[in-house]
Amino acid sequence: MKMPRLLCRIVTALFLSFTLLPHPGAAQGDIPLGNWRMHISYNQINSIALGNQKVYAAARNGVMVFDRADNSITTYSKLDGLKGQAITSIAYDATSQTLLIAYENGILDIVDNQLVITSLDPTKNSSLAGSKKINNITLRNNVAYLAADYGVVLFDVRNKQVKETWRDLGATGETLKILQSAFTTDSVFLATEKGVIAGNLDDNLLDFNNWKRFDTGEFNASIQSVASVNEKVYAAINASGIFEYGSGSWTKETFLQGATFQSLNAAESTLIIAQDDKVWTLSASNALSLVADKLITHPAMALLDAGKLWIGDALNGLVTNANGPFTRYVPNSPANATAVRLTSQNQVLYAAAGGHTADFKGQGNPGILDMFQQGSWSLETTALQDLTDVAYSATRQYVSSFGWGVQQRDEQGTVTLYDETNSPLVNSTPPDRHVNITSLAVSEDGLWVANYGAAKPLHLLKSDNTWQSFSFTYSAARFPTKLATDLYGNVWVVPNPDSGGGLVAFNKTKSVYLTNIASAGGLPSKAVRSIAIDRDGLVWVGTDQGVAYFIDPYGVYDGAVDAIKPIFDDRFLLKDDKVTAIAVDGGNRKWMGTERGVWLFGPDGQSQVYNFTTANSPLLSNVIRDIAIDGKSGEVFFATDEGIVSFRADATESTSTFQTVKIFPNPVSAEFAGTVGITGLATDAIVKITDITGKLIWQTQANGGTASWNALDYTGKRPSTGIYLVFSATPDGAESVVGKIAFVD
């Protein structure tokens, strides 16, 4: 794109065409291009630890830090350097001022008082096969006893090294799962998957023969927890009770018999008992007291400090009465720990926690809809349970439920619930009064609703609140899991792969059932998991054996068109992967989620841009449930089976004309090592950057309305300090804008 000299002189004099942003984001709540953001729920706390001035509370994939001095909250996550997956236990060593974090995958993170994080695998140099899960951390004399699925690791906290490992502690030397440890002056007691074992600390405890076993009667069971108070040892057995050890045997306490327990902990000569829905304290004189408060609903763990309780609750986060009445502390985060369906609408992300098991049974999840907007989470409560999808049609919001129908909310806030009493939505398996809705989709005709298991599984709710229902001759169509509407008004129905699979295309006058058979769809697999419509109207389909797309949605009805399978790296695209999610960004590129991570491919699926996994990114899991994109900012949200994370990509929705064009950051400092973003461009505009003399140093094409630059010239060097000119024009040259960007030392 050659720029006229007159235009260059105008640019040099005015520099008025672009908005210059000194901030790293283009709008409130945005993150820089190429950056990640974690969306971990801290409502469900599974482990807590007391520091000198701080209280640490662990959710499954992050740790919140509550500062008692000013009541402030900070968090640790993979973005801060944590390495493990799925936190199981935390502990704080006051002497060395060290926080220990244990994980399901066997990793141990050590966070020192300078916030330097060291990660290690205690089994790295062993031949261990099987689970490496660490179940609990108990500290004693600067040694952390890591109770694991394979034994106990003795970890020297000060020197950050493993002292020894007690493995294969079963009665005949087999692997025995260890759940927790407790100590008296000279002995250690281990809660195991089968009873309690005890050993003298002066003995060689590497030898399984040197352990005393209590694994008969009621102890022939998994021990939920053990703790010691004043040389007394207590063990909790679910559905049985609490037992006290003395004189070589166990005595069952008269209280809480038959209860279900979460944990036992000891402090200040007191045993703290976290029951399934209550907290109790047992004094040195054996007085049992109930600690009752509406915020104590599902206590996972409770600790005592200076007579005050700190509770990790599985619903209300960190709960304490340290400052008076019980109060909950939770950083801004989604209420639900995970999501199965994401929807982005008007720069608001909606996350639905999901409503059914793998075999399509309701779960009874609360009807809480999480919403993310301008960098903050909020929630909306509904009268439903088991939320499955969210859609907007005109000014109305629709939320679907697996069991409760569809809730409509208009702009005045009036709520209408559609179920079997006032709509053609029906119970899937009479007389069960559950209206199971799995998916919603919007078209010019109105709202399409998937009614799982019904004789008429597809319904249309029109703008005048009238309904139209449709049935199909294909038995698989009775079990729809996802819907999509294309640019031509066709409805695409994804049936449950376990109930026949395939794909149904429908346009109110005719339908066709598509499979993996040639001239009948030609899909890579009959097991369809995901679907998306791209900017050109192509229908992209994800299956258990890769991806395909339909180039002519009308041709499928007469068998004239089979799916096209893109070729990447000399093979069919993702042919060995279960493609669970597809989303199309502003540059018409395809984000694809699998059970091995996330891919971003070019518009035709034949070039790879990114491949994110837990090994090279902050993804919480490689198992992707859904993907949604904020078209305005380009932020891509990934729902994994461990929670939500997002990545700000370099593609946004756009129009054929330039909007308010922004460059950020601007100026570019010497310390900046990220990506420069240029937003507000016309669709797929050409962008050129030159020095003040007009010498070209970099060129690219926008992805939709955004272009990104790694701040390096064609030689791979950072431009010298100075002012640089930015020229952009539509591909046909009909429209153009000009601006500047500064580099400073």
Tens of pLDDT, residues 406-442 = 999 999 999 999 999 999 999 765 545 589 999 999 9
> In 358-516, which ranges are E strands?
366-373, 376-385, 387-393, 396-403, 405-409, 415-418, 435-443, 446-451, 458-461, 467-470, 480-485, 491-495, 503-506, 511-514
- Which of 125-129, 231-235, 350-354 shows the lowest mean pLDDT across its residues? 125-129
Q: In this structure, how many other beta carbons lie within 10 angstroms of the beta carbon of residue 14?
A: 11
Name the CA radius of gyration of the chain, rounded. Answer: 30
Instruction: Quote the Cα angle for 85-530-648, to 5°.
Output: 55
Tens of pLDDT, residues 195-214 = 999 999 999 999 999 999 99
Evaluate whether 541 touches 547 at the Cβ level (below 8 Å): yes
- Per residue in 53-89, is it b (16+ CB within 10 Å) or e — as a string? ebbbbbbbbbbbbbebeeeebebbbbeeebbbbbbbb
Structure tokens at 254: 């008269």
- Per residue in 452-467, is it b (16+ CB within 10 Å) or e — as a string? bbbeebbbbbeeeeeb
pLDDT of 27 reads 53
Query: Distance from first CA to last CA of the chain, Å, rounded?
Result: 30
User: Residue 344: pLDDT above 80?
Assistant: yes
* Residue 7 host element (H or E): helix 5-14
Q: Which of 177, 164, 165 is nearest to 136 (CA)?
A: 177
pLDDT of 115 reads 87
- Which of 64-68, 362-366, 542-546 shows the lowest mean pLDDT across its residues? 362-366
pLDDT of 434 reads 82
Long-range contacts of 109-117 (CB under 8 A, 24+ apart): 109/82, 109/83, 109/84, 110/157, 110/160, 111/76, 117/80, 117/81, 117/82, 117/83
Q: Which of 713, 663, 648, 655 is nearest to 684 (CA)?
A: 655
- The model's confidence at residue 16, banded by pLDDT at 50, 70 and 90, is very low
Which CA distances in Å does 141 have to 71, 167, 227, 557? 30, 21, 16, 74
User: Residue 26: pLDDT above 60?
Assistant: no
Mean pLDDT within 463-474: 94
Evaluate whether 281 touches 304 at the Cβ level (below 8 Å): yes
Helix (H, G, I), strand (E, B) or coil at 732: coil
**pLDDT more than 90, % of the chain:** 88
- Which of 25-29, 62-66, 594-598 shows the lowest mean pLDDT across its residues? 25-29
φ and ψ at residue 556, rounded to 5 degrees: -70, -20
Whole-angstrom Cα distance, residue 109 to residue 106? 10
Q: What is the pTM of this model?
A: 0.92
User: Residue 23: pLDDT above 50?
Assistant: no
Instruction: Quote the Cα angle for 236-223-338, to 5°.
Output: 95
* Residue 301 host element (H or E): strand 299-305
Mean pLDDT within 52-63: 96
User: Residue 5: pLDDT above 90?
Assistant: no
User: Residue 14: pLDDT above 60?
Assistant: no
Mean pLDDT within 83-99: 96
Structure tokens at 293: 């408060």
Long-range contacts of 416-425 (CB under 8 A, 24+ apart): 417/383, 417/384, 418/461, 423/459, 423/461, 423/467, 424/456, 424/459, 424/467, 424/469, 425/449, 425/451, 425/454, 425/459
Tell me the one-letter amino acid at 226: V
User: Residue 654: pLDDT above 90?
Assistant: yes
Give the up-direction half-sphere exposure of residue 525: CA atoms within 13 A in the CB hemisphere: 21
Whole-angstrom Cα distance, residue 54 to residue 286? 30
Structure tokens at 264: 């036992």
Whole-angstrom Cα distance, residue 125 to residue 625? 35
pLDDT of 506 reads 95
Please name the residue that has the structure tokens 């380009």. Answer: 634
Tell me the one-letter amino acid at 428: S
Whole-angstrom Cα distance, residue 644 to residue 648? 14
- Which of 12-16, 501-505, 530-534, 718-722 shows the lowest mean pLDDT across its residues? 12-16
Tens of pLDDT, residues 500-558 = 999 999 998 899 999 999 989 999 999 999 999 999 999 999 999 999 999 988 888 88
Structure tokens at 580: 């669970």
Q: In this structure, how many other beta carbons lie within 10 angstroms of the beta carbon of residue 665?
A: 22
Evaluate whether 634 touches 647 at the Cβ level (below 8 Å): no
Mean pLDDT within 119-141: 93
Tens of pLDDT, residues 624-646 = 999 999 999 999 999 999 999 99
Q: Tell how strand 405-409 and strand 446-451 pair up.
A: unpaired
- All domains of the chain in start order, with CATH: 5-33+655-743 (2.60.40.10), 35-40+333-471 (2.130.10.10), 168-292 (2.120.10.80)
Give the up-direction half-sphere exposure of residue 464: CA atoms within 13 A in the CB hemisphere: 2
Q: In this structure, how many other beta carbons lie within 10 angstroms of the beta carbon of residue 260?
A: 13
Evaluate whether 264 touches 275 at the Cβ level (below 8 Å): no
pLDDT of 428 reads 63
User: Residue 83: pLDDT above 50?
Assistant: yes
Sheet holding 98-103, edge to edge: 87-93, 98-103, 108-111, 117-120
CB contact set of 533 (below 8 Å; sequence gap of 6+) = 484, 485, 486, 487, 539, 540, 584
Evaluate whether 45 touches 313 at the Cβ level (below 8 Å): yes
- On the 0-12 / 13-18 / 19+ scale of CB atoms within 10 A, 716 is exposed
Evaluate whether 406 touches 418 at the Cβ level (below 8 Å): yes
Whole-angstrom Cα distance, residue 589 to residue 601? 6
Q: Which of 346, 378, 331, 374 is nearest to 31 (CA)?
A: 374
User: Residue 8: pLDDT above 50?
Assistant: no
What mean pLDDT, rounded, does the chain reach? 93
pLDDT of 429 reads 58
What string of DSSP letters covers 572-585?
Answer: ETTTTS---EEEE-
